[in-house]
Structure 1
Amino acid sequence: MCIYTYINVRTSMYIHRHKQISAMTVVIGFEGSANKIGIGIIRDGEVLSNPRRTYITPPGQGFMPSDTARHHRAVVLTVLKEALEQAGLKPADIDCVSYTKGPGMGAPLVTVALVARTVAQLWGKPLLGVNHCIGHIEMGRLITKANNPTVLYVSGGNTQVIAYSERRYRIFGETIDIAVGNCLDRFARVIKISNDPSPGYNIEQMAKKGSQYVELPYTVKGMDVSFSGILSYIEDVSHKMLSSGQCTPEDLCFSLQETLFSMLVEITERAMAHCGSQEVLIVGGVGCNMRLQEMMGVMCKEREAKLFATDERFCIDNGAMIAQAGWEMFRSGQVTELEDSWITQRYRTDEVEVTWRAD
């Protein structure tokens, strides 16, 4: 019997046995789509562990895929050991191994997928490839207890307004060029803001000290947004304005945040009106920005709606979010066959059939 057939048969037998006798389901999740690698363990909605490591580059520099993958390879076994120890579990206690299939950077995704696939085979456990965006959404729903929210997903690689309908997370609006987090990161490189702990966090802290608003392009196109023009404009004017004393770096951080976040609030409100929604859930790394939460909160208050958001433990890429989405998928009968356990760099949120939610 070939290894593929063996694993597939073993997985089918395990799922059948699981449905018959397992009272609690434990899923481990491997995340490594960008510069953070995290491994989390979920047991029936309880976060048992969620350690991670971040690859940080010098000010003015981004992170290259090959260097990021090298970082992940160097620390992944340490993080795996921490996850098991913090949870107080052994490999035999794990029911399913989940990993980020995409979207994300190719080399880091492949690195983590290979580790997850190897672990699944060594431990004799079923494997599940998880959409990174779905992981953020399901983690947000778990932590905040939001029922059926309009979701604003904002991160370094993605910007989408999403709502659930008929077994899909439907994308109502998105960026047509770069993500909001990427815009912030690239601006941070222009004025040499530190990447430790993250450029977005440091921009947020500097923005609190800004007082002068510098007018920037505001580009909303229907339900979509565009950030590349704003970035090009602020790159062009920043050095001139700073050198001439027209404004401070803090003023530029303040102005950029106010402009970007206003655009995001606008398209989120429009999606809420379209869906008749009274809940907003912010997920993704940029979602832990307190100014974004504050601005969204004002809009929600005016609409008599509720705002849900989490802190950096669960907004920023982490393994527990992949474990949680994997838990939902596994409990609904999904597994990923070994021969299908590749990665997909451009894996859209609305490609995933949501088998675990009732309409």
Structure 2
Amino acid sequence: MPTVLGLEGSANKVGAGVVRDGVILSNCRATYVTPPGHGFAPGPTGRHHRARLLGLVAAALRDAGLRPRDIDAVAFTRGPGMGSPLAVVAAAARTLAQVWGLPLLGVNHCVGHIEMGRLLGRAPDPLVLYVSGGNTQVIAFSRRRYRIFGETLDVAVGNCLDRFARLLQISNEPSPGYNIEVLARRGRRLVELPYVVKGLDVSFSGLLSHLQAVTPKLLEAGEATPEDLCFSLQETAFAMLTEVTERALALTRATHLLLVGGVACNRRLQEMLRTMCRARGAELCPIDERYCVDNGAMIAQAGWEMLRAGQVTELAQSGITQRYRTDEVEVTWRD
């Protein structure tokens, strides 16, 4: 029964988790939080991860009731993501693997989300909508790769939400996207916003720039409240995502939809997708919010699949790749 330690740190969350044969034994995480109105820069984020990572590894082993000798491999996020945080996690993974004499497994961050979703959603071959701060993709498996059927042409939906939260000076604790969701529930007026869908692709930059231009005027004139604007942003962006996902469901004839990534925690997005799936005779897979956001356990699960297939990363090939696309990975563990 192979046991894999997974390390994640592609953005503002750093984590360590342990997985053994499809069972999550531990999942420890810390988040770098900045003041309202500010994002997170690579340098400070990397320093945060460096200060917390080894403590998280110790906590993950302790929660799993294991010692280093019980671990069979060390998996880490190779990319995509921010350079400094990725480099910190990769260096820690290489060090632990060499000290403990274990194989190293360089995991694609997006594939980590998918494999964790497949494990928890009990859907062997779903269509995937991957929505996070750095990525927005519609994905399906074909011929040993996760193929991208559609994606954002510019900024990711999570980044769009985060940047609007900065404009409104919304708190980053516990996350800007969650706080937008809470405000949106009290919104009453739908403000018309740019809606850009091109086939199976979406674009959020025009939506964001329009909001940046009109928000101060609308608030000053009393024509809309922050709650109205958060509501309008969610309804417009999520309708775009639902449209392209429905188109992909029709194309692939998938019977299950897997929603993964940090934005997958959003209840309104889940509601819109569930309604669409029911109309098409498909099922939205159950979502465990503990594993939607970036975490070490998802990297451990993807690493476990790689280890099972003999897809080990050589030390000389273990550098990070900030632009590491989902469809670059050969998925040797699936038929």
Q: CA offsets, 1:299-327, max 9 Å, x none?
A: 00101110014233100000000000000
In the alignment, the residues of structure 2 paired with residue 146 and residue 98 of structure 1 have an alpha-carbon distance, to the nearest angstrom, of: 23
Secondary structure class of the residue paired with 2:129: strand
Secondary structure class of the residue paired with 2:324: coil
Which of residues 258, 267, 278 is equivalent to 1:290?
267
Q: Following superposition of structure 1 onto structure 2, how do residues 99-110 of structure 1 map, counting pairs within 5 Å?
A: 99-110=76-87
Which of residues 150, 154, 158 is equivalent to 2:127?
150
In the alignment, the residues of structure 2 paired with residue 311 and residue 330 of structure 1 have an alpha-carbon distance, to the nearest angstrom, of: 25
Please report how far the alpha carbon of residue 147 of structure 1 lies from its aligned counterpart in structure 2 after TM superposition: 2.2
Q: Letter of the aligned partner of 2:272 in structure 1?
A: M
Q: Letter of the aligned partner of 1:193 in structure 2?
A: I
In the alignment, the residues of structure 1 paired with residue 176 and residue 139 of structure 2 have an alpha-carbon distance, to the nearest angstrom, of: 26
Q: Following superposition of structure 1 onto structure 2, how do residues 1-359 of structure 1 map, counting pairs within 5 Å?
A: 24-358=1-335
In the alignment, the residues of structure 2 paired with residue 240 and residue 350 of structure 1 have an alpha-carbon distance, to the nearest angstrom, of: 42
Q: CA offsets, 1:97-141, max 9 Å, x none?
A: 000000000000000000010000011100010000000000001
Secondary structure class of the residue paired with 1:233: helix
In the alignment, the residues of structure 2 paired with residue 78 and residue 277 of structure 1 have an alpha-carbon distance, to the nearest angstrom, of: 42
In the alignment, the residues of structure 1 paired with residue 311 and residue 278 of structure 2 have an alpha-carbon distance, to the nearest angstrom, of: 39
- Kindly tell me the number of residue pairs found equivalent between the two proteins: 335
TM-score, normalization by structure 2: 0.99
In the alignment, the residues of structure 2 paired with residue 178 and residue 38 of structure 1 have an alpha-carbon distance, to the nearest angstrom, of: 25
Is the Cα contact below 8 Å between 1:288 and 1:309 reproduced in 2?
no
The runs of at least 4 consecutive aligned structure 1 residues that moved more than 6 Å come to none
Is the Cα contact below 8 Å between 1:98 and 1:322 reproduced in 2?
yes
Is the Cα contact below 8 Å between 1:283 and 1:309 reproduced in 2?
no
- Output the aligned Cα RMSD: 0.6
Q: Letter of the aligned partner of 1:282 in structure 2?
A: L
In the alignment, the residues of structure 2 paired with residue 201 and residue 131 of structure 1 have an alpha-carbon distance, to the nearest angstrom, of: 25
More displaced stretch, 305-314 vs 259-268 = 305-314
Identity of aligned residues (%): 67
Please report how far the alpha carbon of residue 173 of structure 1 lies from its aligned counterpart in structure 2 after TM superposition: 0.2
In the alignment, the residues of structure 2 paired with residue 80 and residue 177 of structure 1 have an alpha-carbon distance, to the nearest angstrom, of: 35
Q: CA offsets, 1:208-231, max 9 Å, x none?
A: 011110010000011110000000
Q: CA offsets, 1:233-289, max 9 Å, x none?
A: 001111110111101100000000000000001111111111111211000000110
Q: Gaps spanning 5+ residues in structure 2: where?
A: none
In the alignment, the residues of structure 1 paired with residue 298 and residue 196 of structure 2 have an alpha-carbon distance, to the nearest angstrom, of: 31
TM-score, normalization by structure 1: 0.93
In the alignment, the residues of structure 1 paired with residue 321 and residue 145 of structure 2 have an alpha-carbon distance, to the nearest angstrom, of: 18
